[in-house]
Amino acid sequence: MTVEALASKPDWLDVLIQRASRADGQPPFSDGSLVELATGGRELLVIGDVAAALLGDGEAEFVVDPDARRHGHGTQLLDELLSRSPRLRVWAHGDHKAARALAASHGLVAVRELLQLRATVPDPATVPEPATVPELVEGAGFDTAAPSSRPTQPAAFRPGVDEDAWLDLNARAFASHPEQGGVTRADLDVLTAEPWFDADDFLLLRDGDALIGYCWLKVELGIGEFYVVGVSPDRQGAGLGRRLVEAGLSRLAERGIRISSLYVEAHNDAAVHLYRSFGFADHSIDIQYATR
């Protein structure tokens, strides 16, 4: 079988993703790459209905059906991806032995690590309510003399109202992040149309009318993922990140979710320390490989 490019997403792709997710313990494609496929930002390459790759802007992810592995399909896909994008970055979700071997055989080196952490959601009776007023830190941007400078409790995202404010804050909070900082309105529309989306799981923190932080949760298959947590750059150091995580845990406990998860860059020491202080522990790791 040869590698071919498809103009539209085939019905069998979701089945392939589900089969690989069950076999490997994590999905083969990130939500971001699937959103880009939906919005035209990624090209879909396939080998029959047993292997698929998503390629866009020099970055790729690919998967082979569990029953079709060890037949050279992964090598075939990687060869095709490298021919199309010689300066390639490719994700290996789960850092499996076969992925490491394939990367090494093509001279790819690990350049980025993304940790997946998990924790047990505390019993609702033991989850602390986020303080109405966080601990104020000198120089953190709060005017202690102005009541309006003290953020209120996080509130649910309002579809049709909060999109522009959230996109602005997200872009500023993740200005240096290669994926999250580039989320567009089209991307957001795709995400909020997903079956798992619930506006009540998208918590926004305001100071008066200004959006200064958020905690977006994704609840699927009984696991509550901290999909993304962001704080305005000018409010760093005021304990808002901790407060948002507490709010997220409270929401998950309220929904009866007992397992929480999140992804965090391994080199982001502050974020890793914050999450570990809530009991999040290593679950798996994603490795991004790149050509030398």
Domain map of the chain by residue range?
A: 3-113, 122-257
Residues 136, 197: contact at Cβ < 8 Å? no
Query: Same CATH topology for 3-113 and 122-257?
Result: yes
**Sign, CA torsion 236/238/244/249:** positive
pLDDT of the chain, 292 residues: tens digit per residue: 899 999 899 999 999 999 999 999 889 999 999 999 999 999 999 999 999 999 998 999 999 999 999 999 999 999 999 999 999 999 999 888 999 999 999 999 999 999 999 999 988 666 555 544 344 333 333 333 333 445 678 999 999 999 999 999 999 999 988 888 889 999 999 999 999 999 999 999 999 999 999 999 999 989 999 999 999 999 988 899 999 999 999 999 999 999 999 999 999 999 999 999 999 999 999 999 999 8
Q: Name beta bridge partners: 52.
A: 46, 63
pTM metric for this prediction? 0.83
Tokens of 76: 């075939």
- Tokens 């292997």 map to which residue? 51
Among the listed residues 55, 58, 67, the one whose alpha carbon sits nearest the alpha carbon of residue 16: 67
Tokens of 188: 């957001």
Angstrom CA distances, 169 to 174, 175, 224, stand at 8, 10, 23
> How far, in whole angstroms, is CA 91 from its chain's centroid?
13
Type of residue numbered 187? D
Pairing between β-strand 259-265 and β-strand 223-231 as defined by DSSP bridges: parallel
Please state the φ and ψ torsions of residue 285, each to the nearest 5 degrees: -140, 140
Domain 3-113: what homologous superfamily?
A: Gcn5-related N-acetyltransferase (GNAT) (3.40.630.30)
Could you confirm whether domain 122-257 is CATH 3.40.190.10?
A: no
Question: Crossing angle, helix 185-192 and helix 31-38, to 10 degrees?
Answer: 110
